[in-house]
Homo-oligomer: A and B are copies of this chain.
Amino acid sequence: MRCDVVAIGTELLLGQVIDTNSAHIGERLAANGIDSLLQIKVGDNLSRMISVLGQRIEQAEAVIVCGGLGPTHDDITREAIAAVMGAKLVEDEQVAETILHMFAARGRRMPMNNLRQAQVPVGATVIPQTRGTAPGLICPVGDSVIYAVPGVPHEMREMLERAILPDLRRRAGVDSVIVSRVIRTWGDSESGLGERLAGIIDELDEPGRPTLAFLASGWEGLKIRLTTRAATSGEGLAELDVWERRIVERIGSIVFGYDDDTMESVVIEMMRRRGLTLALAESVTGGLVAARLTEVPGVSDVLRGAVVSYATDVKVGLLDVPAGPVVSEQAATAMADHVRRLLGADVGLSLTGVAGPDRQDDEPPGTLWVGLAFGDSVEAHLVRLPGDRTQMRQFSVITALDALRHRLVTRTSPVTPRAIAER
């Protein structure tokens, strides 16, 4: 089954707003086994909208139209669809009432143009609105169908999952469900993981097995996504469990989480469960590790604070870093050890390195020393990272947090992320 996507809005053509909706819809359609072969942006112009919709519905069994459902005079998606259906627009009383209630509930007077949003082509079914004031529409055109959803991303996404994907699956005769799981890793490259998982990947290539995809995601790590189709979601998840277990057995130490886990949420949670507090000493990352950790709600149970020691004599004066090069093992261990004393934390984590573009202390850009003061041990690891100044700093954040994670899990040295440097 084929479902094309039309994004409505002159602001999209002018580049004032980036169309991210059609990419999201494309991803969700693919996950549900439905092809999306053309995705088009068109402005708020009735004749062009009618022409584009008419062409799409000739070539595809379904079309999703995003945007142009608001209350103002340039929101004309309803009119365009009605023209393609050859149907009249009539006011749907129930939709009108819902809109009136929404305004009343917020204690606001409803501008009358909001009732435009209650106009529905004869023969169309309403997708009730739960977040914004505009409902969605399911509009049959012969044996095909046009779905209309608002352009506001969270309204669109909710209607897509609740109404459109189930309807499309039904039409496509798909009575199965698609389930997926993301295994989140740090410490090896795509090609490195490909080699280590070679046998498993071959097995998964056989028809009817889950699919496996790698997705390099910068400082979010490298994701492995398993996707399968099954009669029920329980059955699908059970199948994914089996493959996940085999994968994790093979590459276990570099797996830091699943699905929506992030490196920072995982590390904070591990520290919290062990009742440990953390202090940071940041040089090359200039506060980026602290900034990222403090995005996690509830981090205040764990994080005591950070010292960003950008100037050398701040390292020396405040963190007792010994004289000599500051991008070094000695500096990293001194920073980690002294920051935990200074801030009264159980664990000290430090980063000193060269973001570039110039060398420093005779070290090339990409050099990172991560220091870790944990219990009686104070140690540091050297890592070579790729990328420009911004990327190097971002990779440093996840690399340092991963070093702490390894220490918490295994109490051994972290795996050197050898293969990051391949990228």
Contacts and interface: CB of A to CB of B under 8 A. Distances in A.
B19 A297 contact: no
Nearest to A17: B23
Interface residues of A, number: 65
A158 B28 CA distance: 33
Contacts of A45: 37
A317 interface: yes
Interface stretch (A71-79, A192-200, A286-294): A286-294
A16 interface: yes
Given A19-B19, A48-B38, A310 B314 contact: no
Interface stretch (A96-104, A168-176, A202-210, A301-309): A301-309
B307 A311 contact: no
A36 interface: yes
A12 interface: yes
Nearest to A315: B305
B294 A291 contact: no
Contacts of A37: 13, 42-43, 45, 48
A23 B30 contact: no
Nearest to A52: B38
A134 to B, nearest CB: 21
A310 B318 contact: no
B317 A310 contact: no
A227 B38 CA distance: 34
A308 B295 contact: no
A183 interface: no
A19 B7 CA distance: 13
A41 B39 contact: yes
Interface string A1-21: 000000000001111111110
A282 interface: yes
A254 B30 CA distance: 48
5 contacts: A22-B41, A286-B295, A287-B287, A303-B311, A305-B308
